Amino acid sequence: MLKQSLCVLLTACCFLGFATTGLAQSPVTITEMTICKGIQDREPVDAGTSFSNDVGKLYCFTRASAVEKTGIKHVWYFEGEKRAELSFTIGASSAWRTNSSKIIRPSDAGSWKVEVLGPDGGVLQTLAFVVEK
């Protein structure tokens, strides 16, 4: 009787472990995120965390690992105010690359950030940077 009870308990614990592990995993993980001045050959160029307000345009480059085709968003914020939101579909891959860009005007000096949102709208990763005068 004790042996049978232990077997049932062990089976239940294993099932519970698999169920909660599956729920905790996101279908997409951001493996690289950078703000840069350009994209060349599908790779970031001149990455940094501080840029001059005469830069013209900045890019948010992300590399993602996804177990299935899914969606992500890049949300650009300036001084806490949303400036742009762009949606992307990414495929099942260990290294899917995508990017978005934002025109930077001379008056856009200040604190910026880009959030990458997953398919459920949750924040996967955030990257802050500064545009200086």
Between 2.60.40.1930, 3.20.20.220, 3.40.30.10, 1.10.1130.10, what CATH number should domain 27-132 receive? 2.60.40.1930
Res. 2: pLDDT tops 50: no
| pLDDT bucket at 4, cuts 50 / 70 / 90 | low
pLDDT at 26: 74
**From the CB of residue 78, how many other CB atoms can be counted at a distance below 10 Å?**
17
pLDDT at 45: 98
Closest CA to 84 of 99, 102, 97, 105: 102
Tokens representing residue 118 in the block: 């997953």
pLDDT at 19: 41
Res. 13: pLDDT tops 50: no
Q: Per residue in 26-74, pLDDT tens?
A: 789 999 999 999 999 999 999 999 999 999 999 999 999 999 999 999 9
Res. 6: pLDDT tops 90: no
Answering whether pTM is above 0.85, one says: no
Q: Per residue in 59-115, pLDDT tens?
A: 999 999 999 999 999 999 999 999 999 999 999 999 999 999 999 999 999 999 999
Give the torsion sign (CA, 124, 105, 110, 36): positive
Domain range list for the chain: 27-132
Burial class, 26, CB count within 10 angstroms (exposed 0-12 / middle 13-18 / buried 19+): middle
